[in-house]
Amino acid sequence: MDLLPDLGSFAVIADNSPETLVTFLGAVVATLVLSKVVQSLLKGRVAKLVKRTEGKLDDVLLGSLGTPLYWVILIYGLAFSAHALVLPDGVHDFVSGVATVVVTMFAAWAAGNLLTGLREIYIDPLTAESETKLDDQLVPLAEKALKVGIWTLAILVAFANLGYDILSLLTGLGIGGLALAMAAQDTLANVFGSLTIFADRPFQVEDRVTVAGMTGDVEDVGLRTCRVRLDDGTLVTIPNSALTGNPVSNHTAAGGRRYDGCIGLVYDTSSEEIERCIAAFKQVFAAHPEVRDDYFCDLLNFGDSALELRFWYWVTPASGYWRVLGEVNRSLLALCEREGWEMAFPSVTVYKAG
């Protein structure tokens, strides 16, 4: 059909009898009255009945469908009223098509509101009770994707009612989409990377991770990138494809962050003093409230210049890593000074042949 009929040929008064015009005006008035009555009922009696019920589904239905229903009755009523008039060829089809397009948009709006309402009463409580925080971000992303699908379908229906060939339009969109996909390979790789993160859950928001040599707290996981706050306050944006293609250390999942250290004592230190030193180091680890109880310390190497006491311990929570590390190391240094355990430094002894 023609998208715009010849509106210049309208002769409404000449081609329509007084009875026809009265019928048209009566239908318009009846439409206005009916739409107002429905609106009044929805905001009055129906709203009161809904408030008395214990469930929330009826509240969501009323809030999502109430206003769109009013507009659907009004628009279709006015379009039906126009059929009482004698109009040029194609005008009735044009009016019906425009009415269907507008109603389709309102239907998409109502469906989006209904989707949001259902998420709030059914999905949000489940995500709030779950231990992971990734679903708190995945649910809004899924909701947005569904809304995009709803509006895309509504637009296609609208074009169909306006007389466009949907098959040709979809074909053109398919070719354009293929070209766009080829031009946006990196973006698609990041999007699929986000799906992998949501599926495998190697970490979640607020976890402390190390990736690509950087350690920080995860602040946000999006469709394309992940934002990590480093210890110096820098906010680093990492592509999701890099997160799925490189090893990621999750310190929070491990229960803390591990520190590996080594202190070298001079070779003059006796075996008895070494034993006392090892026991004293372990007491320092045990005394700190933010050091896990699976620490380790022992004489593991005879170095070139020192007897090397190697140790490791876990800092929990991992967010306090640097603070705890400084506190423990200062305690170890003070302990060595107090007990007279001399730390070695690299040295070379040269013997001169006589």
Choice between 162 and 27, residue whose per-residue pLDDT is larger? 27
Give the pLDDT band (50/70/90) at residue 183: very low
Q: How much is the pLDDT for 68?
A: 77
Residue 314 confidence (pLDDT) above 50: yes
Q: How much is the pLDDT for 24?
A: 76
* Ramachandran angles phi, psi of 235, nearest 5°: -95, 115
Residue 149 confidence (pLDDT) above 80: yes
Distances (CA, A) of 37 to 46, 73, 76, 110: 12, 11, 16, 20
Distances (CA, A) of 51 to 43, 44, 67, 93, 226: 11, 11, 17, 42, 42
Q: For residue 225, list its beta bridge partners.
A: 239
Which of 44-48, 151-155, 212-216 has the least mean pLDDT?
A: 44-48
Contact 319, 240 (CB under 8 A): no
Q: How far apart are CA 102 and CA 110, in angstroms?
A: 12
How many Å from the N-terminal Cα to the C-terminal Cα in the chain?
Answer: 115
Choice between 266 and 135, residue whose per-residue pLDDT is larger? 266
Q: How far apart are CA 269 and CA 277, in angstroms?
A: 10
Q: Report the half-sphere exposure of 336 (CA within 13 A, side-chain side).
A: 18
Which of 129-133, 137-141, 326-330, 345-349 has the least mean pLDDT?
A: 129-133
User: What's the average model confidence in pLDDT over 87-108?
Assistant: 75
Contacts (Cβ under 8 Å, ≥6 apart) of 11: none
Domains and CATH numbers, the chain: 7-182 (no CATH), 197-250 (2.30.30.60), 257-339 (3.30.70.100)
Give the pLDDT band (50/70/90) at residue 280: very high
pTM score of the predicted model: 0.46
Give the pLDDT band (50/70/90) at residue 109: confident
Q: Tokens 């140790």, residue?
A: 311
Return the number of other C-beta atoms located less than 10 Å from residue 27's C-beta: 18
Q: How far apart are CA 187 and CA 225, in angstroms?
A: 10
Q: How far apart are CA 113 and CA 119, in angstroms?
A: 10
Contact 156, 224 (CB under 8 A): no
Write down how long the chain is: 354
Using the 8-state DSSP alphabet, how is residue 224 labeled?
Answer: S
